[in-house]
Amino acid sequence: MQRFLLFACFLVLLAGCSRKAPPVKGSAMPKTPAPRGNGTVGNEGAFGADGNYYNSPAAQAQLAERYSERLQSSNATTATDAAAALGAMGEPGYPHLVKAMQSPSDSVRLSAMKSMHISQLVKHEAETLPILVAMLSDPNPALRCSAVGRLPWYGRSAGKYLQLVQAMANNDSDGSVRSAAAVAVNGLYEAMSGKKITGAPEGPKVP
C-alpha cells in the first residue's frame, strides 16, 4: 500500500513538471530593440550602461549627465568608458565632452579629447579649435601630442596655425610631440591645398 502511494505521488509530480508555461502575451514583450552596447545610439535613442533604452531627448540628456559624472571618477577605467560612451552618443554627449576638455584634470581632458568624434569636433569648430590650440602649449606632452594631431581635421581653418605647428615639430622638448607635429605639418599642407587629409598620427574617429 505504501509503495502504491509513493508511485501515485511520483506520477502527480511528473505530470506537473511536464506542463508548459502559458504563452507570454504580446503586450508583455519588450518593444525596444536589443541593446547594442553601453552608450550606443540608434535612430530612436541610446542604450545606457544599465541596459535601459533612452529614446527621448530628455532621457538622453539624463543619460549623458550620468556619464558626465562618471567621467570625473578617480578610477581610470570608469572615466575612460564614460568618455567613450559620451562620444558614442553624438550631439547629446558633446556639451559634456567639450566641458571636460577644459577640466583641471589632465586625464579627463585627454579622455574627452580622444573620445570626441571628428564630426563633432569639426561641427563645433568655433568652440573646439581654440581649445585644441590652447593645448599646444600645455605642460603635458600627451595633451600636446593629441591636440596637434587633430588640427589637420579642421582643414583650411587650421592653416593659420601652420607656423606654430612647424615650430613644435622643430623645437618641442618631447620627441613624440615633435613627431606628431611633423606629421600634422604635412596634413595642414594637404588641407590648405584642398587635398585629402592623411597627415594625422591617429585615425579620425567617425560616428
Residue extents of the structural domains in the chain: 35-116, 118-207
What is the DSSP-derived secondary structure letter of residue 72?
A: T
In whole angstroms, what separates CA 46 from the centre of its chain?
A: 13
Taking the C-alpha atoms of residue 120 and residue 48, their distance in angstroms, rounded to an integer, is: 20
Q: How confident is the model at residue 196 (pLDDT cuts 50, 70, 90)?
A: low
Taking the C-alpha atoms of residue 127 and residue 112, their distance in angstroms, rounded to an integer, is: 14
Taking the C-alpha atoms of residue 173 and residue 177, their distance in angstroms, rounded to an integer, is: 8
Rg (CA), the chain: 27
The 10s digit of each residue's pLDDT in 12-32 is 444 444 444 444 343 333 333
Taking the C-alpha atoms of residue 45 and residue 58, their distance in angstroms, rounded to an integer, is: 10
- Give residue 15's identity as a one-letter amino acid code: A
pTM score above 0.85: no
- Residues 156-194: b if buried by 16+ CB within 10 A, e if exposed: eebbebbebbeebbeebeeeebbebbbbbbebbebbeee
Average pLDDT, the chain: 77
The 10s digit of each residue's pLDDT in 102-142 is 999 999 999 999 999 988 999 999 999 999 999 999 999 99
Q: What H or E segment, with its residue span, contains residue 141?
A: helix 141-150
Q: Which fold has domain 35-116?
A: Leucine-rich Repeat Variant (1.25.10)
Burial (Cβ within 10 Å: 0-12, 13-18, ≥19) of residue 100: buried
- Helical pair 162-171 and 175-192, crossing angle rounded to 10 deg: 150
